[in-house]
Structure 1
Amino acid sequence: MSQASYLYTRIREALPWSGGDPAVKGDPRKSVKWIDGLRGIASFLVVLTHLARAWDYDLFAPRDSEDVSPRLLQLPVFRIPWQGRLGVTIFAFLTGYVCALKPVKLSRNGNMLGAFTAVGKSAFRRPPRLIFPATIALIISWVMAQCGAFIAANRSDCWWCRYAAPDLEDSFGKEVLRLFQNFLTTWTTGYMAYDDHQWALLPLLLTSMLVYILTCATMFMRFRWRLFVYLMMLLYFHQNAAKNTETFQMQGIYGMFLSDLSYEVSFQEFITKWKWPRRVVALLLTAVGLFIAGYPGEHPEWSVWSNAMLKASHYIFPPDVNVGKRYSAIGVDLIIFAIYISPSVKEFLSNRLLLWLGTQSFAVYLVHGTLLRTVLCWMLYGITGQPFDPEKKQEGKDEPVWIPIRPPWVVAISIPLWIALVYFCATMWTKYVDPFCARLTQKIENRMFIEDEKPAPAEALPLTSMPMQNMPMQNMPMQAA
């Protein structure tokens, strides 16, 4: 081996995502396959979305104003990474897919007891595995707020940072009470003042419970009738106009449907047989999905293409819904189905880097918001939040003169460094915090669950406890009337 090849091999092995070869059967990083890679992309999209929301909100519209030409990043497809909505939509789909995967497989193999056991244990573990890490993130954000870490964000010219950064109460006692109130509201209404990105955790938790219930309700059904139930549930939740959460249930059921379909042999044989038609269909679905998913969240009437979609939405969706979220869900579903029928794309999503990003996805979701309104704002506005005079107002406005952002070269250096910091912190979180939460959940499960008992021998069982199929009725003597 040459020195250059040796050096390349050592560098590759040192990278955090090079813990195994995903092409080798049984490699642990291959266990979630394309799902984990898709999760990694979704978490990165969430980070990009919040950067755009904070410092270039015009990207959420098809152009800066009605009478100017659109920028490149405001055009269809190009606008997708910046305008939001897709990351959380993908998380909702993954919730349904992953939660249904094991029990559906067991039930299809005829192991109904194992399927119900999987649902029962997964449904028990799901809340603490979400609540424990989110609570730790809440406490960290709360402590940082008490130390004045959000002052720079609250005084910056970034309107979204000011909106999302908490203002402190006038006493420490009130702040302690507010900490407990925010813990409750996170899991009852979805509101959390110290890190508003946690709003999605409650609907994701509720979606997982919906999937578990639907799995149990349809476990004994034939596949074609389960498809009918999935369709009816999708149509039912299509009418849901609940604020912010209206697409979560549909995405969860869609994930459950694809999870079930992955075990259908006839469908897999059909996909394998019709290779070129499948590729054409996947390409068309991807193109249409990318276009639909790019529907602007703000001022869709400013462009011809988005205005046409706005008018069509009156006939497609029920009234008083978030049209942007609805179109994003449809676009994501088309793209995911294109991935689903494309083995080569699944293989790409299973590469080391994307699998590693997927492993860090939940940690990235929990830590990036606090780091954005603290560390990144320190980089872009200074740590002290000075000079700032709340009495000095902007000309013609009843607002203070906010601290201006630093020069573009500072921004260009700060944002990549901050993204690297986010993933470093996420790696530490995944390495230390997640295992702690898993151990704590396991201890609670061991304490609360009944122990598995060995079945009693057949001769010790009463007659009424023996299965009826072991008692041939035709050989039993008839009783007198």
Structure 2
Amino acid sequence: MHLFPNKGVGLAMIITSGRVETDHLFSAPAKPAHPTAWLDGLRGIAAFFVFIYHYQHEYHKAYNWGYGGANGEKAGVEDHRLIQLPIIRLIFTGGPMVSIFWVLSGVSLSLKPIQLARSQSWDKFFDTMFSSVFRRMLRLYIPVFAVQSCVLLATLLGFYNHAHDLAKEWPFYGTNEKQFEVYDSNLGQIADWLATMWKFANPFAPHRPKYDVHLWTIPLEFRNSIILFATLVGYAKLRPRIRIVMTTLLYFYLALIEQGDVGLFIAGMGCAEFLIILDENAKRLPSFEHATDGKQSKRSQLLWTGLFVVGLWLLSWPAWGGERTPGYATIQALTPSFIKSCEMTYSRLGAALALLGLCGAAFLRTPFETPLAIYLGKISFPLYIVHGPVNHVIGEAIVPFFWRITGNESLFAYETGVVLAFAVCAAIVVCLADLVMRVVDQPSVRFGRTLQNKWSM
């Protein structure tokens, strides 16, 4: 038995209780508040692409294939669709965006420590590292546990009954995500949730927690952050050129031993140092020197743009049929046998190269400096941890509702229903993410600072 059958009123209260900051989201880009604002904007867009992926993959399969990836060897597979082309496919695939997240984490967590190390401000460096290590778990886990507590409450209230029933006999064309069991007993549900959260929190045995399988990245984010902090401390007193070489070698070593997720944090560390070097050089040069040698500037822009595009192309490595997809098949054929997963190795390399290209070419960052991108960056973490429950509780219920209006016999009718339902889900996800940002995420950051100040010597 669940506590209350009437679910509509509670949902309406949740959705309408927060005020979303929509002012100026679509206005012309103003000068960013700080030089690295584009990192937040990129994180926000990547988070929204992850939401798109986790929504649409319940209703589609074709996105998994590269363009031409079936090569006529798989009956009934449509592999010549626009969404399967490199770079375009990134909008609909989530794995590459996780790689982008991890490089961005490496950049944002490394910028201040590397600045302090380069200036040899060792007291401030130690204080920064102490603060980073102490607060990292609180920063990641408090919002997750708060949202997951709401998932438990929603389950007890009966919100998940429909999703649970659908998972038994999946009616949609796409992926049936793992769904947790809905217990008849509230105590049984609570006990199962507590056991799941206990297991989930372990960063040394990461897995996909059944109450939201998308949260598998959070323990890895924590573990890899701590490894990054140790690396920053270990490399702090190296001469800058030596540190850059060591960082590069460490990235490739981690990629070769199939620890590429850690490697992406290290790649972010390298990108952070590169950004700092560019900033230092810009401050040293007189302003008139920036306008000289235009040809060199154009060559430099072409180089960084090329690196960015190559990175995006590698990042687009197909989940299915990469060994037959034009271009990727050639690379895979030339790849040594000790590299077990071309998809993971090369797509992660692509994330690192794409971020490096953005670091070198400021003009490429413009889309990530818009008010909308910056706003999505502000709510990116809450958006990531709320979109899964919304997809299951609301998305899976309203897609059939819209199909009753549009029909689903033709491709156009099918996709119209999916898109209309997505628009509703997107509005709800953004509202909830904004609410979680205000009520949970920002207070958790302040709580971490307060605890650090009270407990520090």
Which TM-score band (shorter chain)? 0.7 to 0.9
CA contact (8 A) 1:77 1:294 kept: yes
Return the match for 2:134 from 124, 141, 164.
124
CA RMSD of aligned residues (A): 2.8
The 1:126/1:18 distance shift into structure 2, 3 A limit, reads same
Show the counterpart of 1:411: 418
Return the match for 1:249 from 248, 254, 262.
262
Report which stretch shifted further, 127-136 or 421-430.
Answer: 421-430
The 1:160/1:446 distance shift into structure 2, 3 A limit, reads farther
The 1:33/1:137 distance shift into structure 2, 3 A limit, reads same
Show the counterpart of 1:46: 50
Show the counterpart of 1:428: 435
Report which stretch shifted further, 225-234 or 124-133.
Answer: 225-234
CA distance in 2, matches of 1:59, 1:414: 19
CA distance in 1, matches of 2:128, 2:112: 7
Show the counterpart of 2:82: 72
Return the match for 1:259 from 272, 277, 284.
272
Query: What is the CA-CA distance between 1:160 and the residue it aligns to?
Result: 6.2
1:363-382 correspondence to structure 2 within 5 Å = 363-381=382-400
Show the counterpart of 1:207: 224
The 3-state SS of whatever aligns with 1:83 is: coil
CA contact (8 A) 2:107 2:269 kept: yes
Show the counterpart of 1:299: 321
Query: What is the CA-CA distance between 1:20 and the residue it aligns to?
Result: 11
Residue type of the partner of 1:352? P
2:178 paired with 1:164: yes
Show the counterpart of 1:277: 299
CA contact (8 A) 1:54 1:158 kept: yes
1:113-262 correspondence to structure 2 within 5 Å = 113-154=123-164, 155=166, 156-158=170-172, 162-169=176-183, 171-188=185-202, 189-191=205-207, 192-241=209-258, 246-262=259-275
TM-score using structure 2 length: 0.81
Show the counterpart of 2:447: 440
Show the counterpart of 1:286: 308
TM-score using structure 1 length: 0.77
The 1:145/1:17 distance shift into structure 2, 3 A limit, reads farther
CA contact (8 A) 2:58 2:176 kept: no
Query: What is the CA-CA distance between 1:50 and the residue it aligns to?
Result: 1.4
Query: What is the CA-CA distance between 1:351 and the residue it aligns to?
Result: 2.0
Structure whose alpha-carbon radius of gyration is higher: 1
CA distance in 2, matches of 1:259, 1:115: 15
CA contact (8 A) 1:16 1:356 kept: no
Residue type of the partner of 2:301? R
CA distance in 2, matches of 1:408, 1:111: 57
The 1:19/1:106 distance shift into structure 2, 3 A limit, reads farther
User: How many residues in Structure 1 have an aligned counterpart in Structure 2?
Assistant: 406
The 3-state SS of whatever aligns with 1:304 is: coil
2:375 paired with 1:334: no
The 3-state SS of whatever aligns with 1:55 is: coil
Residue type of the partner of 1:372? N
Query: What is the CA-CA distance between 1:23 and the residue it aligns to?
Result: 4.2
Report which stretch shifted further, 40-49 or 181-190.
Answer: 181-190
Query: What is the CA-CA distance between 1:43 and the residue it aligns to?
Result: 0.5
2:110 paired with 1:100: yes
Query: What is the CA-CA distance between 1:22 and the residue it aligns to?
Result: 6.9
CA distance in 1, matches of 2:69, 2:123: 58
Query: What is the CA-CA distance between 1:45 and the residue it aligns to?
Result: 1.6
CA distance in 1, matches of 2:47, 2:30: 24
Runs of 5+ unmatched residues, structure 1: 1-12, 384-405, 451-481
The 1:434/1:19 distance shift into structure 2, 3 A limit, reads farther
The 1:78/1:264 distance shift into structure 2, 3 A limit, reads closer
CA contact (8 A) 1:52 1:59 kept: no
2:59 paired with 1:55: yes
Report which stretch shifted further, 86-95 or 302-311.
Answer: 302-311
CA distance in 2, matches of 1:427, 1:179: 25
The 1:252/1:55 distance shift into structure 2, 3 A limit, reads same
The 3-state SS of whatever aligns with 1:164 is: coil
Q: Between the two proteins, what is the percent identity of the paired residues?
A: 20
Residue type of the partner of 2:177? Y
2:46 paired with 1:30: no
The 3-state SS of whatever aligns with 1:144 is: helix
CA distance in 1, matches of 2:415, 2:367: 35
